[in-house]
Amino acid sequence: MTHVPALFIPREPAGPRRERGLVLFIALIVLVAMSLAGVALMRSVDTGTVVAGNMAFKQAAIMVADRGTQEATQWITANSAGAVLQMTDEPRGYFSSRPVVEPDWFDAASWTQSVALNGGAPDASGNVVRYQIHRMCTLPDTPYNGAIGATANECALYFALSAAASGGSMAVGAPQFIGTPQLYYRVTTRVEGPRNTVSVIQSSVLVGI
């Protein structure tokens, strides 16, 4: 009897075939994670750019506020003689007494009586500058040393000591004479810039009486 050898057919292991689908699944998960990380990075960069731009606009608005302060100071100095500064002039944004209650300077409703530079038109950078002036006194429309009834007007004053009246002596015990009083005025400037940027700056101005 003739023996016929059996035909041997190699069989591929089942393990690697199952692993092919698992690798594809893991690759898809990694691809999705990398895509999400890329999107998050782009959003982070965009947000940082916007924040940096807003800070630059705000800084520029603060620098522009000096123009309003300078114009207000010039107006105060030009009208310091006489009784002009004793009376409130709302169309000029001038108030002869400080506010009883400090307003919200970031609220546009607090600026209905103010002066707008350039007639309220934006400058080349898109900034609109406004200012208000307050005489730092408790009573309106009253001289700095006056009164309404029994209530005296209290104003923030500065008295510079002067040695000139005593011959300029700097000796110890030499008499010192109080010079001309100076009155404090507060200038509040508001700048409305691009991207709804709002900056408010307050400055104190001393003017001789």
User: Is residue 5 situated within a structural domain?
Assistant: no
Question: Do residues 106 and 198 lie in contact, with contact meaning Cβ atoms separated by under 8 Å?
Answer: yes
What does the block give as tokens for 125? 């950078």
Confidence class for position 83, pLDDT limits 50, 70, 90? confident
User: Is residue 193 situated within a structural domain?
Assistant: yes
User: Is residue 3 situated within a structural domain?
Assistant: no
- What's the total number of domains in the chain? 1
User: Is residue 8 situated within a structural domain?
Assistant: no
User: Is residue 81 situated within a structural domain?
Assistant: yes
**3-state secondary structure string across 97-142:** CCCCCCCCCCCHHHHCCCEEHHHHCCCCCCCEEEEEEEECECCCCC
Q: Provide the residue range defining the domain that includes 128.
A: 15-208
Average pLDDT rounded to a whole number, residues 133-150: 94
Q: Is the pLDDT of residue 88 over 90?
A: yes
Specify the pTM.
0.68
Average pLDDT rounded to a whole number, residues 177-185: 83
pLDDT per residue over 127-138, tens digit each? 899 999 999 999
User: Is residue 4 situated within a structural domain?
Assistant: no
